[in-house]
Amino acid sequence: MKFTFAKPFTPEKGTLVITATEGPELAASGKALDKKSGYALTKAMKAGKFKGKGGQMVSLFAPHNLGVDRLIIAGLGKADDLKERNFETLGGKLYATVANGVEPTVAVLLDPLQGCKVPVAERSARIALGAKLRSFRFDKYRTKEKKEAKPTLKSLRLLADEGTKARALFNEMDKVADGVFFTRNLVSEPANVIYPASLAKEAKGLKDLGVKVKVLGEKDMEKLGMGALLGVGQGSVRESKLVALEWNGLPKGTKQDDGPVAFVGKGVTFDSGGISIKPSAGMEDMKWDMGGSGVVIGLMKALAGRKAKAHVVGIVGLVENMPSGEAQRPGDIVTSMSGQTIEVLNTDAEGRLVLADALWYCQETYKPKIVIDLATLTGAIMVSLGTTIAGLFSNDDELADDLFASGEAVDEKVWRMPLGSDYDKMIKSDVADMKNIGGRWAGSITAAQFLKRFIQDDVKWAHLDIAGVTWSTADKPTVPKGGTGFGVRLLDRYIADHHEA
């Protein structure tokens, strides 16, 4: 879809969108159109019980004396309450409303808005971003889709002052959206298409953006002593991989002596559960158990695409967890790269084993100042927080607060969960340094406690359990159902707010 930004004018054909604040109170251009139409807009708002609240819309087809084929009045809510994400939501809802309409081009007319703290250029760009995010479709395998089921909208025109500035803002946002789309595509692909080697190949494509990419195979990882990661993948015919990505966009001459910010992702490209096999119902969903790695790769694409002035590392451990005569057994003991031993009591608690070695490799190789890992780690986090908020665990209050704020800003919300010595005792093993499960209770917390054992002293660390937010079964304003890409925008915002030169 094409986005254009131009000075405000009133189109005389096609579909036109105008806005109203709570009341309802039409913007200046809306009042002029209302008068010209013989107050048809006022009548339509009254008939549709339209109050101008956020999310409300009313449509008029072929309104008298206006020329346009369709006019949509979009509610904004109270002007002084509006934030960036309100305009993204508006863009997403507008796209959902007009995507399959008759007109291939839709214009949105934005007036100055008294009391609104969001500048008009930012409003234009955010509406475009919301529409772009909602427009995602994973349709490459639909060979017989009817023409009328496909979107007809080809162009969205944002008509407002400061169009040049809006275009510049959107260009940067668009690169982040590209990262989100990349993640959504990776997560949506079936496991016969995305497996460790093919996902590593997708990551290598980021070299074109200036990202340094290194891929380790099983022999490389054996030399490094990654027994935890390799144990997970030993039952599969697919070779396990570890991919390291590095983007350094710091301006030349910048002193960088305190290490990069690192992101580490779980990449189980299919999780059958291994010998501790999962029930068959819903097992097909386990193609997206590589969601954490998908976010890390998409984030690196976003940061490199917009030339972020930051030094960032991304590490993804890629395995396939399958049952076979070679598979890891319950009761096996493995030695991690850190030297710590792990008693594997449940082969379906595998993601933490992958992350254990990926986290240690990251710290040993890149000496990061901050490490943030992402994983579709536990069903227990969904019991706690449902499918709209991710679990956040951290050893540092400032880092936790910053991530919370970034999530609020982009509507990818996280909620901090506890850690503590009592939970740590729950993973104590009688025969090894630790066991990979802690029993029935506090499953997401004991999983985080497990990961914490692989964080070195003085390293600030956060763990995001994204099991409930990686896939959605229902449409949301800027997130169509399917792979969500949750985490890319959150972490891009975190880098932009706290780590760019």
Could you report the per-residue pLDDT of 89-139, keeping only the tens digit for each? 999 999 999 999 888 999 999 999 999 999 999 999 999 999 999 999 999
Residue 252 pLDDT: 85
Buried b / exposed e over 410-424, threshold 16 CB at 10 Å, is bbbbbeebebeeebb
Is residue 272's pLDDT more than 70?
yes
Q: Are 452 and 374 in contact (CB under 8 A)?
A: no
CA distances 43 to 16, 22, 31, Å, are: 18, 16, 13
Residues 457 and 328 in one domain: yes
Element (DSSP H or E) covering residue 243: strand 241-248
Q: Is residue 180 part of a domain?
A: yes
Q: Is residue 449 part of a domain?
A: yes
CA distances 306 to 87, 162, 303, 406, 501, Å, are: 21, 21, 5, 18, 14
Q: Is residue 485 part of a domain?
A: yes
Is residue 182's pLDDT more than 80?
yes
Instruction: Provide mean pLDDT across the span 252-281.
Output: 92
Residues 134 and 222 in one domain: no
Residues comprising the chain, all counted: 501
Residues 151 and 237 in one domain: no
Residue 257 pLDDT: 64
Instruction: Provide mean pLDDT across the span 144-170.
Output: 95
Q: How far apart are CA 487 and CA 501, in angstroms?
A: 22
Residues 214 and 127 in one domain: no
Q: Which of 342, 330, 226, 324 is nearest to 272 (CA)?
A: 324
For the chain, what is the domain count?
A: 2
Is residue 320's pLDDT more than 70?
yes
Beta-carbon count within 10 A of 70 CB: 18
Is residue 254's pLDDT more than 80?
no
Residues 254 and 282 in one domain: yes
Instruction: Provide mean pLDDT across the span 387-407.
Output: 98
Is residue 9's pLDDT more than 80?
yes
Q: Is residue 168 part of a domain?
A: no
Q: Is residue 470 part of a domain?
A: yes
Residues 421 and 287 in one domain: yes
Instruction: Provide mean pLDDT across the span 36-47.
Output: 96
Q: Domain with 447 in it: what CATH number?
A: 3.40.630.10
Residues 331 and 266 in one domain: yes
Residues 343 and 261 in one domain: yes
Please identify, among 106, 130, 162, the residue that sits at the C-terminal boundary of a domain.
Answer: 162
Locate 138 and state its tokens. Answer: 């994973």
Please identify, among 140, 162, 184, the residue that sits at the C-terminal boundary of a domain.
Answer: 162
Q: Is residue 237 part of a domain?
A: yes
Q: Is residue 255 part of a domain?
A: yes
Q: Is residue 169 part of a domain?
A: no
Please identify, among 131, 162, 193, the residue that sits at the C-terminal boundary of a domain.
Answer: 162
CA distances 239 to 197, 217, 226, 326, 474, Å, are: 7, 7, 14, 13, 34
Residues 298 and 339 in one domain: yes
Question: pLDDT band for position 256 (50/70/90)?
Answer: low
Of 27-36, 249-258, 263-272, 429-438, the one with minimum mean pLDDT is 249-258
Residue 253 pLDDT: 76
Residue 42 pLDDT: 96
With H, G, I as helix, E, B as strand and everything else as coil, classify residue 216.
strand
Residues 196 and 326 in one domain: yes
Q: Please write the tens of the pLDDT for every residue from 473-489.
A: 999 999 999 999 999 99
Virtual torsion, Cα 248, 251, 253, 255, nearest 10 deg? -60
Q: Please write the tens of the pLDDT for every residue from 187-234.
A: 999 999 999 999 999 999 999 999 999 999 999 999 999 999 999 999
Instruction: Provide mean pLDDT across the span 374-378.
Output: 98
Residues 122 and 258 in one domain: no
Q: Which residues are catalytic?
A: 278, 352
Residue 479 pLDDT: 98
Question: pLDDT band for position 501 (50/70/90)?
Answer: confident
Instruction: Provide mean pLDDT across the span 336-362.
Output: 98
% of the chain residues with pLDDT over 70? 99
Residues 228 and 351 in one domain: yes
Q: What domain range includes position 259?
A: 175-498
Q: Domain with 140 in it: what CATH number?
A: 3.40.220.10
